């Protein structure tokens, strides 16, 4: 299966963690994977994007109009990164406001569930897994999140994923 | 991992390179951090520890020093590597160019990471051109996997010809992740042995003619080496009259695009793994076989200029076919290939996208407090600054220049001399430099400024780390790359020994005290015996997990109804935890009011903003 995913946010929101998550998940399933990340100054609160390409690709970058899926940790980035997505792409957005796309107020969910606000990225991920199909199933996702987490963080990360997964969003 | 077996790992390009160093027997790797190269050395340190091989891995104070440390190891017969971003090679240019003439003994690899775009650099220069200038062979990886393999090739090639070899990844390789096969390290078990040979290692001018001649012979042999004949993407023989010659990530993009555009059977594609020296047979064959050739490479026309041929058959940067600046993104390459194939361009021609949110200093960053104080104290000052997180002080209007590592101190001296020629009065000149940048290239500038009688205030923004690139420790921290303790070197001691007559240290969170010291410093500059005044702004970086902090109190900040929405705090303090919000008025006769609010999950509770609001509308309660 081939899938091209973009993860869009601002530096500090956990875009890189989600990028590594998809990469590890693909490797768990013995799929070829290439990702592209943004490091350096933009990570200080600037707009950042990661590309994930699962399946037999050679280039780490996604072309305009080619992404199947977009996870937006920052709604304001829609105007910047929407062009990467196909017309019929699956999109999920983290926002407290109304959105054209399936959305969840990840910070609000985190507050209600007494979760670390830094886990908003995993809440959005859980939400995405309940709303669309990925190259891997949600159980693989849980397994990979456990593998990537350390100590007490493990259960907190799984709880964040589940909070998003079970949330209806809007 | 079990060190006898191979296994797949998910590695970033830089991690793959670091892994390659350890697998292929490197015993000394040195680097100075800089995007996009920063993760290479940390990876080498991690894999050294994990596999238990013996190697010295160091963060050096700058790239020139790193290069020379690695050279010493190579001259002792051991495999050595030095990693840096492309502009780091400018700093190491002196040892680099001479090492081509003198050669090396143990395999020597220079990893120079380029940044087409540029995304995080002061130029988008092409290190392959620098390799050509220095007469050093260069390999150009097209994926993280290949980058790791090329480390081994580079070591072998280097030892075969006793010549340094460059590996030139670009940002898109450095920061790509891929599943990579990792094998066990192959320790070479060499004993250090330096064989004296003054004609070579001292090489006074009388020896250099011969050394240059022998360097030229080496390059000829490498240009004739069939192992570096560019690789056709398809092994089937074709009668195509058009070819694309590409290298690095531009090759990967071209490969995928030819497939997507159904052009695989119409246009031949070659991957150039060694852009310099370009294989001589290949140059001949291309000339005979193809009517039209498109060269796609980043960022300068290195391959293109070696394809000496009737210029109308080569389409590239020199012919104006390929843009002469910027990254060759897949979108841009799609347009190039479509035009080359005489196809209408697809619908995906790139449009100018909005730029998104600019980066800014973290909430609670001590630099912000220092910059706020500087601008407020010296509204008419000149503010030379430098490279690091603190370049973002430009958002606050407290950074007027940023040139190259360490330049700010010498530029400030130049500003002083320019103004002092015109009369006794000169504007306040307040320089900001980070602690790591000070170690890297600030010290000679400070000595020179003191000696030459320049007068300015130098603020060393000492957050006890190299923050921008991922919190690598500085010599003052005293931690080495492998986590062991080194001898600490104090910035205060260095400043004093440079002959500075005014030195004060202050935590910029104590805004009033800090402002007072800035004023004292400026007064010292203007006094009869004055010169350079140094104020060390000392507070650990909030992103640095190693930093020791005073436990306890933080402030829970909120904005009261006294806020008039004047925007002073947003403009002059620019904290990401302060934002405008429209406050709906309950009284329908009043208009909605713009007010500032605290973004609680971003606020770090530093409490500095309490002292900046003109209406005293930012208040706080102290919490545990």
Interchain proximity A59–B253, CB inside 8 Å: yes
Residue B594's pLDDT is what? 86
A116 touches chain B (CB under 8 A): no
Residue B546's pLDDT is what? 84
Closest chain B residue to A84 measured between Cα atoms?
B348
For B417-444, write each residue's pLDDT tens digit: 999 999 878 999 999 999 999 999 999 9
- Give the least confident one: B97-101, B317-321, B587-591: B587-591
Is the Cβ–Cβ distance between B36 and B113 less than 8 Å?
yes
Is the Cβ–Cβ distance between A124 and A161 less than 8 Å?
no
b/e code B313-337 from CB counts within 10 Å (16+ = b): ebbbbeeeebeeeebbbbbbbbbbb
Interatomic CA distance for residues B36 and B469, integer angstroms: 9
Pick B549 or B451 by higher pLDDT.
B451
Closest chain A residue to B577 measured between Cα atoms?
A45
A47 touches chain B (CB under 8 A): yes
A75 touches chain B (CB under 8 A): no
Interatomic CA distance for residues A117 and A120, integer angstroms: 6
- Give the least confident one: A40-49, B578-587, B602-611: B578-587
Is the Cβ–Cβ distance between B434 and B386 less than 8 Å?
yes
* Confidence category of residue B2, pLDDT binned at 50, 70, 90: very low
Is the Cβ–Cβ distance between A145 and A21 less than 8 Å?
yes
Residue B126's pLDDT is what? 98
The minimal CB distance from B35 to the residues A26, A39, A66 is found for A39
Residue B582's pLDDT is what? 73
CA B289 to chain A, closest CA, distance in angstroms equals 27
Report CA dihedral (A90, A92, A93, A99) to the nearest 10 degrees. 70
Q: Does the pLDDT at position B552 exceed 60?
A: no
This complex has an ipTM of 0.95
Interatomic CA distance for residues B469 and B482, integer angstroms: 17
Taking phi over 0 as left and psi of -120 to 50 as alpha, with beta for the rest, B525 belongs to alpha
For B63-84, write each residue's pLDDT tens digit: 999 999 999 999 999 999 999 9
Chain B residues touching A79 at Cβ < 8 A: 354
Is the Cβ–Cβ distance between B362 and B330 less than 8 Å?
no
Is the Cβ–Cβ distance between B272 and B245 less than 8 Å?
yes
What's chain A's average pLDDT?
A: 94
For B183-239, write each residue's pLDDT tens digit: 999 889 999 999 999 999 999 999 999 999 999 999 999 999 999 999 999 888 888
Residue B380's pLDDT is what? 96
For B9-28, write each residue's pLDDT tens digit: 999 999 999 999 999 999 99
At residue B124's C-alpha, the angle toward residues B118 and B125, to 5°, is 165
Q: Where are the alpha helices (DSSP H) in B34-188?
A: 39-51, 63-75, 86-91, 93-102, 127-134, 144-161, 171-174
**Chain A residues 85-104 with CB within 8 Å of chain B:** none
Interatomic CA distance for residues B588 and A103, integer angstroms: 32
Interchain proximity B119–A45, CB inside 8 Å: no
Q: Does the pLDDT at position B393 exceed 60?
A: yes
Is the Cβ–Cβ distance between B36 and B171 less than 8 Å?
yes
Interchain proximity B353–A77, CB inside 8 Å: no
Interatomic CA distance for residues B56 and B327, integer angstroms: 35
Residue B233's pLDDT is what? 93
Strand (E) or helix (H) holding B209: helix B205-223
* Closest by Cα among A2, A54, A59 to A23: A54
Interchain proximity B172–A60, CB inside 8 Å: yes
What's chain B's average pLDDT?
A: 93
Interatomic CA distance for residues B210 and A166, integer angstroms: 75
**Chain B residues 299-338 with CB within 8 Å of chain A:** 329-331, 334
SS (H, E, C) B507-554: CCCCHHHHHHHHHHHHHHHHCCCCCCEEEEEECCCCCCCCCCCCCCCE
Pick B4 or B156 by higher pLDDT.
B156
Measured N-to-C along each axis, helices B93-102 and B127-134 cross at an angle, to the nearest 10 degrees, of 40
Q: Does the pLDDT at position B353 exceed 80?
A: no
Rounded alpha-carbon distances, angstroms, from residue B15 to B272, B320, B604: 23, 36, 32
For A19-75, write each residue's pLDDT tens digit: 999 999 999 999 999 999 988 887 888 999 999 999 999 999 999 999 999 999 999
Q: Which backbone phi and psi does A152 adopt, to 5 degrees? A: -65, -20
Interatomic CA distance for residues B49 and A128, integer angstroms: 38
Interatomic CA distance for residues A45 and A52, integer angstroms: 21
* Confidence category of residue B309, pLDDT binned at 50, 70, 90: low
**Chain B residues 539-598 with CB within 8 Å of chain A:** 576
Chain B residues touching A61 at Cβ < 8 A: 172, 249, 253, 329-330
What proportions of chain A, in percent to the nearest 5, are helix, strand and coil? 45, 20, 35
Q: Does the pLDDT at position B40 exceed 50?
A: yes
Q: Does the pLDDT at position B3 exceed 50?
A: no
* Closest by Cα among B203, B190, B196, B197 to B77: B190
Closest chain B residue to A85 measured between Cα atoms?
B348
For A119-130, write each residue's pLDDT tens digit: 999 999 999 999
Q: Where are the alpha helices (DSSP H) in chain A?
A: 15-28, 78-81, 106-112, 120-131, 138-148, 153-166
**Do the strands B554-559 and B533-538 form a parallel or antiparallel pair, or are they unpaired?**
unpaired
The minimal CB distance from B359 to the residues A11, A27, A77 is found for A11
Q: Which backbone phi and psi does B527 adopt, to 5 degrees? A: -75, 165
For B474-516, write each residue's pLDDT tens digit: 999 999 999 999 999 999 999 999 999 999 999 999 999 999 9
Start-to-end CA distance of chain B, whole Å, equals 43
Residue B1's pLDDT is what? 42
b/e code B174-195 from CB counts within 10 Å (16+ = b): bbbbbbbebbbbeeeeeeeeee
Interatomic CA distance for residues B58 and B70, integer angstroms: 10
Interatomic CA distance for residues B314 and B297, integer angstroms: 13
* Closest by Cα among B516, B512, B489 to B504: B516
Interatomic CA distance for residues B144 and B181, integer angstroms: 11
Which residue(s) pair with A40 in the sheet? none
Which residue(s) pair with B138 in the sheet? B166, B276
Is the Cβ–Cβ distance between B246 and B269 less than 8 Å?
yes
A1 touches chain B (CB under 8 A): no
Rounded alpha-carbon distances, angstroms, from residue A15 to A9, B178, B327, B380: 6, 17, 22, 40
DSSP state of B290: -
Q: Where are the alpha helices (DSSP H) in B261-392?
A: 280-289, 302-306, 330-340, 366-377
């Amino acid at each position: 299966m081939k899938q091209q995913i973009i993860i869009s946010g601002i530096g500090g929101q956990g875009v890189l963690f989600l990028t590594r998550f998809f990469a590890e998940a693909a490797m768990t399933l013995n799929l070829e994977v290439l990702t592209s990340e943004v490091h350096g100054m933009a990570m200080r609160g600037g707009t950042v994007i990661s590309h994930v390409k699962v399946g037999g690709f050679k280039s780490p970058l996604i072309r305009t109009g080619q992404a199947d899926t977009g996870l937006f940790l920052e709604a304001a980035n829609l105007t910047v990164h929407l062009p990467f997505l196909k017309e019929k792409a699956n999109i999920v957005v983290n926002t407290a406001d109304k959105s054209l796309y399936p959305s969840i107020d990840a910070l609000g969910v985190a507050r209600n569930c007494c979760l670390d606000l830094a886990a908003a990225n995993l809440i959005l991920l859980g939400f995405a897994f309940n709303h669309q199909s990925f190259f891997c199933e949600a159980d693989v996702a849980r397994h990979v999140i456990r593998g990537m987490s350390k100590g007490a963080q493990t259960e907190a990360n799984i709880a964040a994923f589940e909070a998003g997964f079970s949330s209806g969003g809007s | 991992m079990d060190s006898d077996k191979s296994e797949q790992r998910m590695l970033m390009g830089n991690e793959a390179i670091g892994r390659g160093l350890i697998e292929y027997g490197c015993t000394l790797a040195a680097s100075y951090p800089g995007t996009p190269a920063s993760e290479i050395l940390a990876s080498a340190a991690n894999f050294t520890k994990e596999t238990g091989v013996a190697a010295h891995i160091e963060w050096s104070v700058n790239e020139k020093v790193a290069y020379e440390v690695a050279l010493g190891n190579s001259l002792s017969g051991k495999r050595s590597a030095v990693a840096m971003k492309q502009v780091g090679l400018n700093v190491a240019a002196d040892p680099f160019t001479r090492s081509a003439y003198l050669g090396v003994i143990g395999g020597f690899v220079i990893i120079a990471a380029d940044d087409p775009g540029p995304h995080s650099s002061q130029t988008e220069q092409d290190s392959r051109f620098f390799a050509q200038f220095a007469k050093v062979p260069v390999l150009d990886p097209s994926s993280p996997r290949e980058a790791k393999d090329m480390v081994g090739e580079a070591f072998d090639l280097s030892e075969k010809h006793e010549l340094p070899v460059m590996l030139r990844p670009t940002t898109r390789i450095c920061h790509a992740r891929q599943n990579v096969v990792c094998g066990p390290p192959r320790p070479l078990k060499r004993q250090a042995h330096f064989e004296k040979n003054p004609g070579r290692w001292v090489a006074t001018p009388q020896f250099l003619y011969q050394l240059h001649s022998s360097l030229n012979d080496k390059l000829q042999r490498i240009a004739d080496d069939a192992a570096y004949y560019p690789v056709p993407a398809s092994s089937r023989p074709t009668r195509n009259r058009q070819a694309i010659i590409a290298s690095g990530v531009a090759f990967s993009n071209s490969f995928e695009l030819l497939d997507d555009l159904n052009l695989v059977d119409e246009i031949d594609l070659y991957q150039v793994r060694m852009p310099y020296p370009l294989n001589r047979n290949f140059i001949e064959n291309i000339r005979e076989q193809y009517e039209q050739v498109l060269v796609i490479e980043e960022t300068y026309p290195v391959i293109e200029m070696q394809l000496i041929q009737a210029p109308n058959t080569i389409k590239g940067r020199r012919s104006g076919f390929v843009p002469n600046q910027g990254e060759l993104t897949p979108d841009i390459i799609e347009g190039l290939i479509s035009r080359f194939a005489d196809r209408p361009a697809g619908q995906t021609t790139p449009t100018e996208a909005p730029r998104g949110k600019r980066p800014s200093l973290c909430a609670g960053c001590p630099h912000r407090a220092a910059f706020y104080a500087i601008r407020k104290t010296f509204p008419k000052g000149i503010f030379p600054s430098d490279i690091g997180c603190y370049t973002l002080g430009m958002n606050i209007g407290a950074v007027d220049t940023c040139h190259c590592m360490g330049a700010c101190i010498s530029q400030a001296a130049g500003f002083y001399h320019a103004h002092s020629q015109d009369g006794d009065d000169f504007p306040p000149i307040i320089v900001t430099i980070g602690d790591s940048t000070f170690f890297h290239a600030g010290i000679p500038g400070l000595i020179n400024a003191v000696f030459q009688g320049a007068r300015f205030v130098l603020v060393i923004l000492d957050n006890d780390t190299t923050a921008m690139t991922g919190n690598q420790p500085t010599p003052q921290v005293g931690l080495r790359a492998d986590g062991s303790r080194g001898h600490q070197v104090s910035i205060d001691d260095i400043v004093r020994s440079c002959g500075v007559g005014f030195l004060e240290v202050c935590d910029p969170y104590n805004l009033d005290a800090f402002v007072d010291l800035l004023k004292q410093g400026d007064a010292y500059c203007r006094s009869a015996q004055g010169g350079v005044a140094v104020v060390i702004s000392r507070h650990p970086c909030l992103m640095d997990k190693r930093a020791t902090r005073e436990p306890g109190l933080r402030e829970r900040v909120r904005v009261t109804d006294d806020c008039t929405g004047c925007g002073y705090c947003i403009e002059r303090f620019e904290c990401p935890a302060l934002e405008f919000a429209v406050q709906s008025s309950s009284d329908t006769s009043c208009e909605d009011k713009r007010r500032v609010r605290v973004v609680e999950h971003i606020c770090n509770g530093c409490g500095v903003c309490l002292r900046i609001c003109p209406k005293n509308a930012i208040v706080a309660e102290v919490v545990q």
